Amino acid sequence: MTKGTEYIARRADDTGFIHYPQEEHDIWRQLYARQAVNLPGRACKEYLQGLDALGMPKDRIPQLAEIDAVLQATTGWKTAAVPALISFGRFFELLANKEFPVATFIRRKEEFDYLQEPDIFHEIFGHCPLLTNPSFANFSHMYGQLGLHASKEERVFLARLYWFTVEFGLLQPKDGPLCIYGGGILSSPGETLYAMESDAPERQPFDLLNVLRTPYRIDIMQPIYYVIEHIDMLDEIAKMDIMAYVTKARQLGLFAPKFPPKAKAS
C-alpha cells in the first residue's frame, strides 16, 4: 500500500461531487458490462443481493454519496475517498471506523485487464456490494480494529488473512455450487473465470493458521484459494483469537511459495 503509483485520485469539489471525464465513465461502463456477463452463476448470492441493493449506475462512475446512502442504511458503513495508495495504518484506521477506503481514480485502457493497485472499480464494484451484508461488514470492522493495534510484523501476517478472504475468498455452500465473495476476483474478469473454472489453482478449506502462513503475490493469478462454507463463517472467524494464531504463525514460519519468485527488473 505504500509503493509508488502513477495514478492520481480525483478530488471532490466544494459540494462533494467528483468530476470525471467522459473517457473515464466509458471505462467504467466497459468494465461493468464485461463483469455483468461473468458474475451470474459465479458470484455468491450475498454479493448479487448487495449489487442489487446498491443499484449503482452501469454507464458512469458512481458518486460516493450514492454508495454511502445504501451502506449507511444497511450496515452503518460509508466510503472514504483516498489517494491511490495509503499506509497500512491509515487503512486499518478507516476500517476500524467503518469507513471503506476508495481510491477515486479508474484504470487506463492499457491496464484494462489487470491493475495492481485498487481503483474505484475494484473498490466499488468488487467490495461495496458485500459491505451491505452484516457478516462481511462485521468481519471488516473487526479486521480494522485488530490491525490498528497490531505491530508492523503482525500486520504482515494479518494482510494474508485479508488477502485470502476479502480479496480472494471463495465460498462453497453445502447445498450449492462453488462461488466467489472476494472482491479481487469479482472485479477481475480473468480471475473470475480462472478461480472458478481452471484446474490450475488449489482450493483448500479455510484454516486460519494455514492462511496466515501462506505467501502470495499480487501480480499473478492466485495458485491457491481458501474456501469458506457460508458468508456467516466470517462471523465465526471474527470471534477467534486471531492474534494468538498470528503469534503461532510467526513461530512456525511461512509455507513454501506455490509460485516462482518475481523476475527482477533488468
What pTM was estimated for this model as a whole? Answer: 0.95
Coil/strand/helix, residue 239 = coil
Is 19 annotated in some ligand binding site?
no
**pLDDT tens, 44-55?**
999 999 999 999
- Residue 262 above 90 pLDDT? no
Instruction: Go through 33-47 and write b for each residue having 16 or more CB atoms within 10 A of its CB, e for each that does not.
Output: eebeebbeebbbebb
Q: What percent of the chain has pLDDT over 70?
A: 98
Mean pLDDT of the chain: 95
In 3D, which of 112, 94, 111 has the Cα closest to residue 103?
94
Query: What pLDDT score was predicted for residue 4?
Result: 57
What is the spatial distance between Cα 59 and Cα 20, in angstroms, rounded to a whole number?
12
Alpha helices, DSSP H, located in the chain: 22-38, 45-54, 64-74, 88-96, 120, 134-148, 152-162, 183-186, 189-197, 208-212, 233-238, 242-252
Instruction: Convert the pLDDT of each residue in 62-119 to its tens digit.
Output: 999 999 999 999 999 999 999 878 999 999 999 999 999 999 999 998 887 777 789 9
Q: For residue 254, how many C-alpha atoms fall within 13 Å in the half-sphere facing its CB?
A: 9
The answer on whether 127 is annotated among ligand-binding residues is: yes
What is the model's pLDDT at position 2?
Answer: 44
**Sign, Cα dihedral of 190, 10, 161, 151:** positive
- Per cent of the chain over pLDDT 90 is 88
Catalytic residues: 122, 127, 167, 187
Q: Is 191 annotated as a binding residue?
A: no
- pLDDT (average), residues 223-228: 98
Per-residue HEC secondary structure of 27-86 comes to HHHHHHHHHHHHCCCCECHHHHHHHHHHCCCCCCCCCHHHHHHHHHHHCCCEEEEECCCC
The model's pLDDT over 121-158, given as tens digits with 9 standing for 90+, comes to 999 999 999 999 999 999 999 999 999 999 999 999 99
Predicted local confidence at residue 1, as pLDDT: 43
Q: Greater confidence, 3 or 170?
A: 170
